[in-house]
Amino acid sequence: MKRFILAAAMALAAAPVAANAETDCTDLAALKMSHAEVTSARLETLANGSACRVSVTSRPTPTSDIRIEVWIPVGAAWNGKFVQVGNGGLAGAIPVAQIRLRAEAGYAAAGTDDGHVGNGRTAVWALGYPEKIRDFGTRSLKETADAAKALIRAQKGDGPSQSYFAGCSAGGREALMMAQRYPTVFDGIVAGAPANYNTLITGERAYMQQMLARPGAYLAKGDLQLLQDAALKTCAAGGAFIRDQKACRFDPGVLQCKAGAAPGSCLTAPQVAAARALYTGRPGPNGRSLFPGYTPGAEAMPGGYQAWNTGASMTTFADSAGHTISSQFMKYFIYGDPAFDFLKADMGPRYDRDSRKAAAELDAVNPDLRPFKAHGGKLIQYHGWNDPAIPPLGSIRYHGEMRGRMGDTSDFYRLYMVPGMLHCAGGAGPGRVDYLDVLDRWVTKREAPQSLIARADAGDETQLLCPYPGVARGNGKGGWACAAPKPKG
């Protein structure tokens, strides 16, 4: 397909048209864009109508191959707004299910495979292709936003009234990346459980995996259950999950075996050391943690430590998502060596030096969001307190760094920490919130979010979420209220 400058297409699409006039979906196949082409345009049936489903391939560099999908609800099914959804893991596939979900809610929606084909756990595609790493880190996100907005203008005769980005995990990193590097593209952003400290998290996981791989240190399902039960006994006051992790002081050393202990009732010294590594993270030269570890209370839950850190058994240890993704990250993003074994790696200062180049492309840690704020952007960040994949205290770290750089950020930023929630969803605590709806009301109606009600995936249980650093406190009448923590001293 022949191509010419995107600006020309956008100017044509922005020309005056009759109210509510729409270009036929199949005609979008002829839209020309710079270094990108529409490969198909067809109607897709939605629960409440139909959408024009457009596939795009963008090649901003000779080695780029960015696949994009844009779904534009037809007629009155469109709410006039656009949302771009994030990817997960190491990407490699377009998140079609998320795009459909947003389109059925009335949004024009788009997503990308981040510039490569994969299963979300492999980075072999990056070996020898630095431009593909750049596509994965940031460029595919901007390419998707540009293509989507051009297609919306071409189909609707006008652009969206508001543009949003919503993602969790790797998609949360992408969300913060857009706020930091492309601050005028989106009016509002939802960043869930963001992996924005990518290289630090990878180094931490490698250290944790090394500790778990030591002789006698592996934590099987029964050992994880011991940790979970002891943590809940210490910090949950009889509840199913820990409401106030900041006040929890749990030491796995209370489970260390003593003489005469029954098998399966305690942990060996190597197991206690491995558990402490999971909770405290990778130590620096001064012994202090370089990045926070995981919080206790959900170690044995489905979707918890076995999924992300230990595998289902010692023989499948290397199959856990944390092991696989971190190994691939270090092999192909940092060292460029398929034979690199992170279980034997030096996780001291050398790793931090070696990872700087990758950090520049893949980390989203800039706390200065003044350009995004000046654009009028609003940012909602959330994180489950029992996340077994991305340490929740990382979100609190970013919150603190942002306030340290910018001062009071409450006029454009909210952080919600969700007690009992695992990675992005699930867990013992109710964690379901329509953050996109909350964001939309903040942007369009100036309704700044305060306390939110999180609902369980099944049943009618709820819990109150407070903007960090507030906490939900019982009021003595069976209810909960948001309150700031008491000052120390």
Closest C-alpha to 388, from 304, 274, 316, 291: 304
Confidence class of residue 486 from pLDDT cuts 50, 70 and 90? low
Residue 488 within any structural domain of the chain: no
Residue 489 within any structural domain of the chain: no
C-alpha torsion angle, residues 356, 112, 294, 278 (rounded to 10): -60
Residue 177 within any structural domain of the chain: yes
Q: Are residues 192 and 204 in the same domain?
A: no
Q: Let me know: does 56 contact 69? Beta carbons within 8 Å.
A: yes
Residue 162 within any structural domain of the chain: yes
| 30 dihedral zone (left: phi>0; alpha: psi -120 to 50; beta) | alpha
Q: Let me know: does 472 contact 466? Beta carbons within 8 Å.
A: yes
- Tell me the pairing of strands 36-46 and 471-474: unpaired
Residue 99 within any structural domain of the chain: yes
- The Cα 52–Cα 71 span in angstroms is 5
Q: Is the peptide bond before 302 cis (omega within 30 degrees of 0)?
A: no
Confidence class of residue 487 from pLDDT cuts 50, 70 and 90? low
Cα-based distances in Å from 325 to 143, 152, 266, 291, 443: 25, 35, 31, 18, 35
Residue 371 main-chain phi, psi, to 5 deg: -60, -40
Q: Are residues 191 and 214 in the same domain?
A: no
Where does a domain end: 313, 337, 360? Answer: 360
Q: Are residues 244 and 330 in the same domain?
A: yes
Give the model confidence (pLDDT) of 395-416 as tens digits.
999 999 999 999 999 999 999 9
Q: What is the DSSP string of 404-468?
A: HHHS--TTTEEEEEETTB-SSS-BSS--B--HHHHHHHHHHH-----SEEEE-SSSS-EEEE-BT
- The Cα 416–Cα 431 span in angstroms is 10
Q: Are residues 42 and 157 in the same domain?
A: yes
Residue 217 within any structural domain of the chain: yes
C-alpha torsion angle, residues 206, 211, 215, 217 (rounded to 10): -120
Q: Are residues 135 and 205 in the same domain?
A: no
Query: Which tokens go with 436?
Result: 């996109």
Q: pTM of the predicted model, to two decimals?
A: 0.94
Provide the pLDDT for residue 481.
80
Percent of the chain surpassing pLDDT 90: 90
Within 8 A by CB and 6+ apart from 198, the residues are: 173, 329, 358, 359, 362, 363, 364
Checking if the pLDDT of 475 tops 80, the result is no
Please return the burial class of 375, using the count of CB atoms within 10 Å of its CB with bins 0-12, 13-18 and 19+. middle
Rg of the chain (C-alpha set): 23
Provide the pLDDT for residue 12.
37
Rounded to the nearest integer, the mean pLDDT of the chain is: 93
Provide the pLDDT for residue 20.
55
Residue 1 within any structural domain of the chain: no
Query: Which tokens go with 468?
Result: 């960090």
Checking if the pLDDT of 112 tops 90, the result is yes
Confidence class of residue 422 from pLDDT cuts 50, 70 and 90? very high
Q: Are residues 301 and 162 in the same domain?
A: no
What CATH number should be reported for the domain holding residue 50?
A: 3.40.50.1820
Q: Are residues 291 and 389 in the same domain?
A: no
The helix-helix angle for 269-280 and 198-212 (nearest 10°) equals: 170
Q: Are residues 393 and 469 in the same domain?
A: yes
Cα-based distances in Å from 343 to 207, 324, 326, 340, 347: 8, 12, 11, 9, 9
Q: Let me know: does 221 contact 311? Beta carbons within 8 Å.
A: no
Give the model confidence (pLDDT) of 47-93 as tens digits.
999 999 999 999 999 999 999 999 999 999 999 999 999 999 999 99
Q: Are residues 27 and 161 in the same domain?
A: yes
Q: What is the DSSP string of 23-56?
A: --GGGGGG-EETTEEEEEEEEEEETTEEEEEEEE
Where does a domain end: 315, 337, 360? Answer: 360
Q: Are residues 61 and 192 in the same domain?
A: yes
Cα-based distances in Å from 104 to 71, 107, 117, 202, 369: 10, 7, 26, 36, 32
The count of domains in the chain is 2
Give the model confidence (pLDDT) of 291-341 as tens digits.
999 999 999 999 999 999 999 999 999 999 999 999 999 999 999 999 999
Query: Which tokens go with 267?
Result: 């942990």
Within 8 A by CB and 6+ apart from 303, the residues are: 388, 422, 423, 426, 427
Q: Are residues 325 and 368 in the same domain?
A: no
Where does a domain end: 309, 342, 360? Answer: 360
Query: Which tokens go with 83?
Result: 């949302």
Q: Are residues 306 and 261 in the same domain?
A: yes
Residue 165 within any structural domain of the chain: yes
- The Cα 100–Cα 107 span in angstroms is 9
Q: Which domain holds residue 468?
A: 6-196+363-483
Mean pLDDT of 189-207: 98
Please return the burial class of 280, using the count of CB atoms within 10 Å of its CB with bins 0-12, 13-18 and 19+. middle
